[in-house]
Amino acid sequence: MRKHWIDNLRWVTVLLVLLYHVIYFYNNKGVFGGIGGFGEYPACPQYQDVVMYILYPWFMPLLFILAGISARYALEKYPSKEWFKARTRKLLVPGTIGLFVFHWMVGYFNTVVAERQGVFEGVPGLIKYMIMAVSGTGPLWFIQVLWLLCIVLLLVRALDCKDRFWTWCGKAGIVWIVLLGVLFWAGEQTLIKNPRPQTADGLLNLYKPLFYLVPFLLGYFVFSHDEVQEKVGKAWIPLMACAVVSGAVLVVTTFGQDNTSPSYLGSPLNCLYGWLMCLAMMGWFKAKYDRTGAFAGYMTRSSYGLYIVHYLPVAAFGYMMKTYTQLPPVAMYLILGVAVFALSPLLYEVLRRIPFIRWCVLGEKKA
């Protein structure tokens, strides 16, 4: 029987990713990426950036938890070889080939400033295209990391071939489930606190594979159990209350800092809030939203595609408005939000109907 609450939580989280990128694109808190804010902090506080502080600690770890749960269910139905082949088509193909077919356009807007400064002067067109394709990775880091974690999972499964560890994890009570947040904190400690310039340190901190391995495996071994899901569902109200309190304290005490820096992410308060929100959101949706309908069904089918294509409208509209118009910030946010939430489904529906392009960009064999 399909667990609709997992589907619903996944597509709602994807929509929050779209909202996050609308705010993030104009942030002035030093967060890498985007095009910059409308003034320097603290003279221009940009209180709308609070959305980043609320969402960033938990929404991507939550997607990895859900991916781990789904991996468990899929591997109960399909042989490992068949599952990994499907994962490779769905994740690795869009995360590599898709860069050169579609996401080079995102890369264009990521590199247009360098182009205007003459950085690419004398560089052959093919090389510029390759650079734009790679720099267009953007949010696709998620599916690239997820594919690598699928390989790790197959190795871990070989060590637990009789499911003894998985069975043992299903006995966890709510206290132990909350205490698993220590692993969440430990994962954040794998980030490089002082990344060295001109090295891959910054890239490792962006991808955070060792950190995201933690929620992915917790999803597979712990939260794939019906009993664990029931316990979290029954405790969703106190979990949400504690998450809201810890989140409020985090935002009030740290607003203005780069909330993606290793020191920020590794702080006990950030980890506490992030973990409690993961649990609270799972519990809330398990208790209240384990159902589906026409819209929910469509979003379940299309949320992955929306995630794949959504950053092109963000980059294109966000850059053009900031560079070539004198619109007030409120108007830019509204236009960018409407563009992202309206054009992303349109882009997805067009791309999924074009043979070969559908396979390259979305990892889908059929429309």
Q: Give the SS3 label for residue 257.
A: strand
The C-alpha atoms of residue 361 and residue 353 are separated, in whole angstroms, by 11
Q: Give the SS3 label for residue 3.
A: coil
* Domain assignment present for 37: yes
The enclosing H or E element of 187 equals helix 181-188
Quick: pLDDT tens for 278-335: 999 999 999 999 999 999 999 999 999 999 999 999 999 999 999 999 999 999 999 9
* Domain assignment present for 101: yes
CB contact at 8 A, 251 and 271: no
The pLDDT value recorded for residue 113 is 65
CB contact at 8 A, 50 and 255: yes
| Predicted confidence (pLDDT) at residue 119 exceeds the cutoff of 80 | no
- Give how many domains the chain has, as a whole number: 1
Please report, in angstroms and rounded to a whole number, the separation of the first and last CA atoms in the chain.
Answer: 25
Find the domain containing 354 and state its range.
Answer: 4-362
The C-alpha atoms of residue 226 and residue 234 are separated, in whole angstroms, by 12
Structure tokens at 20: 């996050």
Quick: pLDDT tens for 169-185: 999 999 999 999 999 99
Q: What angle do CA 129, 14, 273 make, to 5 degrees?
A: 115
* Domain assignment present for 286: yes
* Domain assignment present for 212: yes
The pLDDT value recorded for residue 114 is 65
Is the preceding peptide bond at 355 cis, omega within 30 degrees of 0? no
Find the mean pLDDT for residues 62-81: 98
* Domain assignment present for 99: yes
pTM above 0.85, yes or no: yes
Q: Give the SS3 label for residue 255.
A: strand
* Domain assignment present for 367: no
The C-alpha atoms of residue 231 and residue 234 are separated, in whole angstroms, by 5
